[in-house]
DNA sequence: CGACTTGTTGATGTACATCAAGGTACGTGG
DNA sequence: CCACGTACCTTGATGTACATCAACAAGTCG
């Protein structure tokens, strides 16, 4: 399982560890949502990164029970993190979008308690776990960023928990769509109030803790009310205000975040 | 309950920052679940700690929207963290037990998106936010611990989300009780398979995403089956194996953790 | 003064009727 | 074949209502 940098390993799920995009040319860093890095920070991140990993849609990055010696930042594409019960019931914990940092839990505890799967073709930056301690000892600013990202993840889980525990089906759905829409907009994926997403109704159901059938009915309700449309993988928000109202949306603000 | 007898300060909710138990004599550090600290780490934590805070049952440590300039470690007592919807529906995100570190989100984002309330009388160690950066720059080991604790919190939220999203009422209840029981046992609060807890049925309902009435019926089912008893604030696990089975419990293991 | 009522309040227990969400079945279209 | 759509019936969870019980305060009487 030890894939060392620059190794063009076979990889079951595939991947050209190809070339390394230099962090100075990272396509994400231009976005407003990410904070500026100092020269020295960029340099460190550059040395921290051991390579890139490409996965095809449906591939699994990390499985429940795995001990992952690597951390990742998603560069492009969509992924999701989930847990299952012994009988197969699945709960999607959160989506992973570009700029998100994953694998911290698995690295820190030497055992993942969740699975991470690609929804679309994805490209990830790969960081070896061993270098994490040198990050903490030589780059306190970046170390703080790692903590910051963990706290952000926690906050998103909090939101999710409130939704699933206390919102009705239609409120949940509206809230999730608001959340998605906001994040997609931050990443400049939205044009004319619409964006393309690989999410299907089964994913929706498993994110929201609903059955597939009920998910479909709920989505239809939002469509019938003229609030959204979701056809051919294109999600359009037709009435953002009403969507937010149905969602009882509490977006909060999102300050510029670090990207490791 | 030892409130330092020094200070009979008034305070409605904020008690006297009274006295400081030296970290070298921290009553929690003896427990197996906490990792050993080096001399230098202990020294730093000692200087990081600005005092102690005692709250009475029902008091609020932190409210949604607050910018908390402090971080806390719970020394004794029970607390919980929750979010609410505009119409009052409440979701308890997690319980806070001795050794837990709270206030990171609020400190890091300069705004809490949740409330933290005391279930019983509690004592907390207080740390000023300003010193957090010196912790990161001079104590990489402790900085890593902070991240570790954040990752642990995230893992507990993951579990919770799976439960609320995908388990039935009775499974949820059984799972929560297993979780509680395990944590109480780690803290040496369990004797003869029983422990005392200030949790009432309304709290249970809000933790599990159920109505009060249904919570009562579900609890009764577990009692009728001879699996648990919960009377006068004393929770007894009468059949741990069956409880775990109903819960479809996946406890995982808990490695020694740092206590800041 | 103490002993006994009465009233209040909060947590718990249970019985309905109702409703939101689940499950099965069977469509369609690509 | 798979993702989506919808009808129909079932069930798990909700909401309202009301009863019980202990803790506590106030008022009354022997």
Amino acid A236: pLDDT? 98
Q: Helices in chain A by DSSP H: which ranges?
A: 39-48, 104-109, 131-138, 140-166, 169-186, 201-208, 212-224, 240-247
Inspect the interface and report whether the beta carbons of B140 and A144 lie closer than 8 Å: no
pLDDT of residue A18: 56
Say which range, A232-246, B52-66, B114-128, B245-259, has the weakest mean pLDDT: B245-259
Give me the mean pLDDT over the B10-20 stretch: 49
> For strand D, is any atom closer than 7 Å to the CB of B217?
yes
Q: Taking residues A229-233, what's their average pLDDT?
A: 96
Q: What is the mean pLDDT of residues A195-215?
A: 98
- Are A227 and A182 contacting, i.e. CB atoms less than 8 angstroms apart? no
Backbone angles phi, psi at B102, to 5 degrees: -125, 160
Indicate the average pLDDT of chain A: 92
For residues B178-188, give the mean pLDDT: 97
Q: What does residue A145 show for φ and ψ, rounded to 5 degrees?
A: -60, -40
Q: What is the pLDDT of residue A252?
A: 75
Statement: the CB of B168 is under 7 Å from strand D: yes
Distance B201 CA to C2 C1' (A): 38
The predicted structure's pLDDT at residue B254: 80
For residue A49, the distance in angstroms to the closest alpha carbon of chain B comes to: 19
Locate the chain A residue with the closest alpha carbon to B88: A166
Q: B191-209 as b/e, with b when 16 or more CB fall inside 10 Å? A: eeebbebbbeeebbbbbbb
Contact B111 A252 (CB under 8 A): yes
Query: Tell me, in Å, how far CA of A78 is from C1' of D8?
Result: 37
User: Does B11 score more than 70 pLDDT?
Assistant: no
User: What number of C-beta contacts closer than 8 Å exist between A and B?
Assistant: 141
The set of strand D positions with any atom below 7 Å of a protein CB reads 3-8, 12-17
pTM listed for this prediction: 0.92
Average pLDDT over residues A51-67: 96
pLDDT band at A251 (very low <50, low <70, confident <90, very high): confident
Q: What pLDDT does B112 receive?
A: 96
Whether the predicted pLDDT of A74 surpasses 70: yes
pLDDT tens digits for range A143-160? 999 999 999 999 999 999
Q: What is the pLDDT of residues A86-96, one digit of tens each?
A: 999 999 999 99
What span, in angstroms and rounded, lies between the C-alpha atoms of B162 and A85?
Answer: 8
In this structure, is the CB of residue B211 within 7 Å of any atom belonging to strand D?
yes
Share of chain B above pLDDT 70, in %: 93
**Positions of chain C reached by protein Cβ under 7 A:** 11-16, 20-25
What residue of B is the nearest CA neighbor of A106?
B151
Give B65's pLDDT tier (boundaries 50, 70, 90). Answer: very high
* Res A254: pLDDT: 81
Mean pLDDT along residues A47-63 = 96
Q: Given a cut of 50, is residue B253 above it in pLDDT? A: yes
The CA distance from A73 to the nearest CA of chain B, in Å, is 16
Angle in degrees, CA B212, B216, B219, rounded to 5 = 135
Q: What average pLDDT score do residues B44-48 get?
A: 95
Whole-number pLDDT of residue B252 = 74
CB contact under 8 A, A150 and B155: no
pLDDT confidence bin for B255, thresholds 50/70/90: confident
């Amino acid at each position: 399982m030890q894939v060392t940098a620059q190794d063009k390993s076979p990889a079951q799920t595939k991947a050209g560890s190809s070339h390394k995009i230099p962090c100075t040319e990272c396509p994400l860093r231009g976005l407003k949502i990410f904070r500026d890095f100092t020269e020295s920070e960029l340099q460190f991140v550059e040395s921290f990164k051991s390579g890139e990993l490409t996965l095809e849609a449906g591939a699994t990055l990390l499985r429940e029970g795995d001990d992952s010696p690597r951390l990742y930042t998603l560069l492009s594409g969509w992924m999701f993190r989930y847990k299952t019960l012994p009988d197969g019931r699945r709960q999607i914990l959160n989506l992973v979008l570009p700029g998100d940092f994953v694998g911290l839990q698995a690295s820190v505890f030497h055992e993942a308690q969740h699975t991470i799967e690609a929804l679309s073709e994805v490209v990830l930056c790969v960081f070896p776990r061993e270098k994490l301690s040198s990050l903490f000892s030589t780059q306190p600013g970046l170390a703080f960023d790692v903590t910051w990202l963990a706290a952000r993840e926690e906050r998103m889980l909090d939101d999710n928990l409130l939704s699933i525990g206390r919102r009705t089906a239609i409120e949940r759905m509206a809230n999730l769509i608001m959340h998605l829409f906001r994040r997609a907009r931050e990443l400049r994926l939205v044009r004319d109030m619409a964006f393309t997403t690989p999410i299907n109704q089964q994913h929706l159901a498993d994110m929201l803790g609903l059955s597939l059938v009920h998910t479909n009915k709920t989505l239809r309700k939002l469509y019938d009310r003229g609030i959204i449309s979701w056809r051919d993988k294109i999600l359009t928000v037709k009435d953002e205000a009403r969507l937010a109202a149905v969602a009882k949306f509490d977006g909060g603000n999102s300050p510029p975040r670090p990207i490791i």
